[in-house]
A = this chain, B = another copy of it.
Amino acid sequence: MLNDVDLKVKLDKPAYKKAMDALDLRLAELQRKAREAGIPVLVVFEGWDAAGKGVVLGRLLEALDPRGYKVHHVASPTEDERLHPAPWRFWNRIPARGLMAFFNRSWYHQLLDDLARKKIHGMALTAAYERIRIFERQLADDGMVILKFFLHISKKEQAKRFEKLEKDKVFSWRVGKAERRHHKHFDEYCKAADAMLGETSLQESPWIVVPATDERLSIVKVAEALAEAIEKELAQRAECTRESIEFAPRQTNPLDAVDMSVALPREEYQERLPKLQAELRRLQHLCYVYRRPVIIVYEGWDASGKGGNIKRLLRKLDPRGFEVIPFAAPQGEEKTHHYLWRFWRALPKAGHFALFDRSWYGRVLVERVEGFAKPNEWQRAYSEINEFEQQLAEAGAVIVKFWMHVTKDEQLRRFEDRQNTPHKEWKITDEDWRNREKWDQYWEAVSDMLDRTSTAHAPWTIIEGNDKCYARVKAIETVIDAIKKQVPPLGKKKKVAEDE
């Protein structure tokens, strides 16, 4: 790929000026149009050191309204970033609809380095490529324009540019150890880049290799490609050509098989619960020592006892190591980003517990039933969610998902009880009654969800919730079992974590 690039092409000044005068106006207008149309644009700049990423990007930005873009400089992950799944720090920075994000270096930077230094291969490499493909495809499916530029120069040209930088002390820090190492092994890096570009040139996010010996030429090439990509997306939106997807009928009906008569005598509950809570506390510390994050999702009918169940689960845990994260309808920035964005942002650090009180499953429950998501959006969501959880599992997360189930009669009884008890009245709203009217539609949606998103690494557990004692004990036991299955007890090996 890189070898075929003609690095000698040039553009003279008058041709450059003519091209850019037109491109500046065109890009400024396209930025406004993309903003109006709510199109997010993500541009990646990769390439050799001193290939001119900063200059090209700087010139490109001149055309744009600075209130509509952000520039992200990607360096080595911070400690906090290392304690999260690899894509976390990039999900955190995706542009909102209508805005542009420019990445100076990106999720490719570390990979290329690892490839060139032969630090990654086999399954790990396959997984890394797959993570990137999932990331970019999920964003593109949401309507994001993604462009990836690779700025290419020759080894000789790079040497010349290094020399120039090193002449001025103010700039010389830019040629450091890493840069010199890259230069020394230029050929290995070229080979690695060829492989990486080939594996990650997707239809929705192709690589564009830019010959960057001539600054003017590279600027025009990048500006043109950006303009064309936005124009293409604008045209596509005008035609509404998003394909609908195939939606196969579900295989199982898990809710039909639930025995709702199960119950636990209060005395037994009072005896067992404190022991289970103490055990979970111990396991919380164990997970911290091994730096394993634990993700617990609570979904369920209104008045199914989620709140009380969560409290019992947490009772003895160290509050410094868990967080309860409630989710209602998306607000503000949450609405202008990919629906998974706010959940990525909320992920716990390695070694911590996060309890999601409602979750990403809103996409296939309330958003489906109320029509907030279009059919192709919620139908696509099952596999997006599976991919999301797969990535959490790969990062070492223990994932437990609860569907808190009550019968329709029991729900009615609880609604009425809340309405008639002064200190519980605040718990019941008109919306609860409206949701109840859609019981059958939700039943459908829940069944589809349980059927399609119960995976080996993130299975659903249905909690029979008519009897609260039973439900609480089952929930905490389920979490304990999941951790025990995945996190080994402490052997004689030395401890993994240091106190933060």
Contacts and interface: CB of A to CB of B under 8 A. Distances in A.
A324 B58 contact: no
Nearest to A331: B332
Given A54-B319, A318-B58, A285 B178 contact: no
A66 B319 CA distance: 11
Interface stretch (A169-177, A220-228, A397-405): A169-177
A243 interface: no
A139 B169 CA distance: 44
B285 A171 contact: yes
A70 interface: yes
Interface in A274-315: 282, 285-286, 288-289, 307, 310-311, 314-315
Interface in A87-120: 102, 104
A32 interface: yes
Chain A interface size band reads: 35 or more
A316 interface: yes
A186 to B, nearest CB: 19
B73 A500 contact: yes
Contacts of A32: 426
A230 B159 CA distance: 66
B500 A75 contact: yes
Interface in A363-386: none
A277 to B, nearest CB: 11
A109 to B, nearest CB: 12
A405 to B, nearest CB: 21
A174 B282 CA distance: 13
A497 interface: yes
Nearest to A328: B67
A409 interface: no
Given A58-B316, A79-B79, A326 B289 contact: no
A434 interface: no
A169 B491 CA distance: 9
Contacts of A333: 332
A75 to B, nearest CB: 4
Contact of A498 (B170, B173, B495): B173
A499 interface: yes
Nearest to A311: B62
A66 B499 contact: no
How many copies the complex holds: the figure is 2
Interface string A410-437: 0000000000000100100000000000
Contacts of A314: 61, 66
A317 interface: yes
A97 to B, nearest CB: 15
Interface string A146-178: 000000000000000000000011111110101
A66 B326 contact: yes
A191 to B, nearest CB: 25
Nearest to A318: B54
A324 B66 contact: yes
Given A62-B311, A73-B320, A319-B71, A499 B326 contact: no
Contacts of A318: 54, 58
Contacts of A316: 58
Given A67-B326, A324-B66, A319 B286 contact: no
A393 interface: no
Given A58-B316, A80-B80, A104-B319, A497 B173 contact: yes
Nearest to A63: B311
Given A66-B357, A170-B285, A178-B499, 18 more contacts: A29-B423, A54-B319, A54-B320, A57-B320, A58-B315, A58-B317, A58-B319, A62-B315, A66-B355, A70-B323, A71-B320, A71-B323, A75-B499, A75-B500, A79-B79, A171-B285, A173-B288, A176-B499
Q: Pick the 9 closest A-B CB pairs, nearest first.
A: A332-B332, A66-B324, A67-B326, A75-B500, A73-B320, A170-B285, A58-B319, A54-B318, A57-B319
